[in-house]
């Protein structure tokens, strides 16, 4: 079940894979970090909504960033992160072919507390980008990605973040699997059935394994 608000997301997860609403949902591993990041984001004046099952923050109706949990970290994902002023190089590409989005990754609550002002400044810089009206000039993606997957990643930024966070080998495995059918309907069906595994950080042939808890 897709959450209706951020409190439900923090309690139950995004509801988009089989782990939603269970103790194994990765959101539970990073709840304190997500709550701390949320406080900083809201203090910057952004509007909080739920989009694609995760907290999304907007400025005058324009998407600025997402909060999300992955296996090894929690993150702020900036929609136009490539344009955000980042003098200390704190933002990273979710994947080697990422052109627009950038992530600020967090691996512990202390990290958030120690770098609160740096995080806030990145958020304010991202708001400045949106206010300025700057746009990303996309180059042709070097990966031979099927159009159905491109369309799905474009309409679902949280899925794009998860896909781009996969290892290059896992990304390539999914691309080959999705591209192989001749019929567009079959390619689309394969993508739809695989969303849960991608959101879980898995490759085609991976089976879910219990994660070890992070260090505090």
The CATH number that applies at residue 74 is: 3.90.1150
Residue 39 lies in a domain: yes
Report residue 22's pLDDT band, with 50, 70 and 90 as the boundaries: confident
Q: Quick one: which of 53, 52, 47 has its CA closest to 3? A: 53
Q: Measure CA 87 to chain center.
A: 22
Give the C-alpha separation, 80 to 128, whole Å.
Answer: 11
- Which are the contacts of 95, defined by CB distance < 8 A and separation ≥ 6? 163, 164, 165, 166, 168, 171
pLDDT > 70 fraction of the chain, expressed in percent and rounded: 94
Residue 187 lies in a domain: no
Residue 158 lies in a domain: no
Residue 88 lies in a domain: yes
Average pLDDT, integer, range 24-33: 93
Choose the most confident range, by mean pLDDT, from 121-125, 156-160, 181-185: 121-125
In whole angstroms, how far apart are CA 158 and each of 53, 68, 139, 180, 199? Answer: 8, 8, 21, 24, 8
CA angle 156, 30, 124 (to 5 degrees): 65
pLDDT at 94: 86
pLDDT at 92: 94
pLDDT at 57: 97
pLDDT at 205: 81
Residue 12 lies in a domain: yes
pLDDT tens digits, one per residue of 35-88: 999 999 999 999 999 998 899 999 999 999 999 999 899 999 999 999 999 999
**How many CA atoms are closer than 13 Å to the CA of 75, on its beta-carbon side?**
25
Residue 157 lies in a domain: no
Give the C-alpha separation, 19 to 173, whole Å.
Answer: 23
pLDDT tens digits, one per residue of 99-125: 889 999 999 999 999 999 999 999 999
Report residue 95's pLDDT band, with 50, 70 and 90 as the boundaries: confident
- Which are the contacts of 31, defined by CB distance < 8 A and separation ≥ 6? 10
Average pLDDT, integer, range 174-193: 93
Give the C-alpha separation, 33 to 204, whole Å.
Answer: 29
Residue 127 lies in a domain: yes
pTM of this structure? 0.76
- What is the signed CA dihedral for 5, 190, 205, 70, rounded to 10 degrees? -20
Provide φ and ψ at 82, rounded to 5°. -65, -20
Q: Quick one: which of 37, 38, 68, 71 has its CA closest to 54? A: 68
Give the domain range for residue 106.
6-132
Domain count, the chain: 1
Residue 156 lies in a domain: no
């Amino acid at each position: 079940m897709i959450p209706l608000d951020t409190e439900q997301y923090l309690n139950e997860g995004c509801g988009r894979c089989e782990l939603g609403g269970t103790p194994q949902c990765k959101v539970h591993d990073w709840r304190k970090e997500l709550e701390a990041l949320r406080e900083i984001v809201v203090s910057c004046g952004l509007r909080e909504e739920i989009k694609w099952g995760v907290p999304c923050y907007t400025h005058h109706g324009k998407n600025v960033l997402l909060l999300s949990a992955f296996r090894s970290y929690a993150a702020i994902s900036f929609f136009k992160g490539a344009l955000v002023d980042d003098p200390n190089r704190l933002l990273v590409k979710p994947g080697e072919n990422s052109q627009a989005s950038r992530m600020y990754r967090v691996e512990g609550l202390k990290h958030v507390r120690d770098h609160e002002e740096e995080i806030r400044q990145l958020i304010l810089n991202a708001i400045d980008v949106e206010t300025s009206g700057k746009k990303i000039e996309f180059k042709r993606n070097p990966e031979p990605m099927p159009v159905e997957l491109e369309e799905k990643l474009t309409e679902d930024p949280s899925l794009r973040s998860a896909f781009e966070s996969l290892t290059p080998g896992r990304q390539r495995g999914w691309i080959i699997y999705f591209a192989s059918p001749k019929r567009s309907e079959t390619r689309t069906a394969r993508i739809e059935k695989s969303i849960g595994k991608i959101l879980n950080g898995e490759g085609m042939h991976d089976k879910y394994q219990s994660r070890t808890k992070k260090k505090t």
